[in-house]
Amino acid sequence: MRINLRFLLALVVVAVTLLGYFFNTSTNPVTGEKQHVNMTADQEIALGLQAAPQMEAQYGGESPDQRATAAVQQVGQRVVQANGLDQKTTYRYQFHLLADDNTINAFALPGGQVFITQGLLKNLTSEAQLAGVLAHEVGHVVARHSAEQVAQSQLTQGLTGAAAIAAYDPDHPASGIARAAAAAMIAKLVTLRFSRNDELEADKFAVKFTPQAGYDPHAMIGVMQTLEREAGGQNPPEFLSTHPNPGNRIEELQKDIQQIYPQGVPAGLKP
């Protein structure tokens, strides 16, 4: 009876988790695709604005270089406006240059807060490369990757919890712990896979968005080459990485450019 009750409770947890995930859907205004999310755009905006000061503090705050900051903001807004994203979505697109001169990074928070470090900016060789980086981060925003990750995390946590309930044996508690740990590892790997797909999708958005703003999408390949060079061969295996390695991303970018512009990219774009 004790085993049956555990399995019954586990099944209830699974049912509630799955129903909560699959019945919370929303149509993306940019892609037109249905997504499993449980946050509204306003909630994403509020979450991003709330988290922004803490994220800035981790990278030394806003850059004091007003000229470079203005350039980042100008290029970022050009990408947004040229693609009509300020009309298609309600997000507040704001672009920040962070003072950290050593860390090579760029990231986006839900709702439109986009950040790039001085460490990355100084390694870029053209305005088109900057546009590619910012367009990639804007891609994360419009694709609602953060909201998807929250929903996916709740799904995997619920299923992992159900597995732990079903596997627990009070007469042999160590076996239950081992099984729960294995379930947690599987859930972690599933989440990592979503993240790699998100990065590739954001790269594809960069290929789509940059030409509309007047920039050559091939510039993103130069960004990947820079990241590969700076990594110095120290990347972890892709299977255990939240980001595809730069070499693989170059291949995917080349495929995206060929697919989206089979007759070649438009003429007159900034390289």
Q: Which residues contact 106 (CB under 8 A, 6 or more apart)?
A: 114, 115, 116, 117, 120, 133, 134, 136, 137
Structure token digits, residue 88: 């298609």
pLDDT of residue 241: 61
pLDDT of residue 78: 98
pLDDT of residue 120: 95
Structure token digits, residue 240: 């255990």
Q: For residues 146 and 109, is the Cβ–Cβ distance under 8 A?
A: yes
Amino acid at 37: V
Could you give the CA distance from residue 99 to residue 17 in angstroms, rounded to a whole number? 42
Q: Which residues contact 74 (CB under 8 A, 6 or more apart)?
A: none
Enumerate the H helices of the chain as residue ranges.
2-22, 41-58, 66-82, 85-88, 118-121, 127-142, 145-167, 173-212, 219-231, 246-260
pLDDT of residue 76: 98
Predicted confidence pLDDT, tens digits, the chain (271 residues): 445 665 565 565 555 555 555 567 788 888 888 877 878 899 899 988 999 999 999 999 999 999 999 999 999 999 999 999 999 999 999 999 999 999 999 999 999 999 999 999 999 999 999 999 999 999 999 999 988 877 666 555 544 554 555 555 555 444 444 455 445 544 544 454 557 889 999 999 999 999 999 999 999 999 999 888 877 656 555 555 666 788 789 999 999 999 999 999 999 999 9
pLDDT of residue 155: 54
pLDDT of residue 101: 95
H or E stretch covering 108: strand 106-109
pLDDT of residue 190: 47
The 8-class DSSP code of residue 270 comes to: B
Could you give the CA distance from residue 178 to residue 157 in angstroms, rounded to a whole number? 16
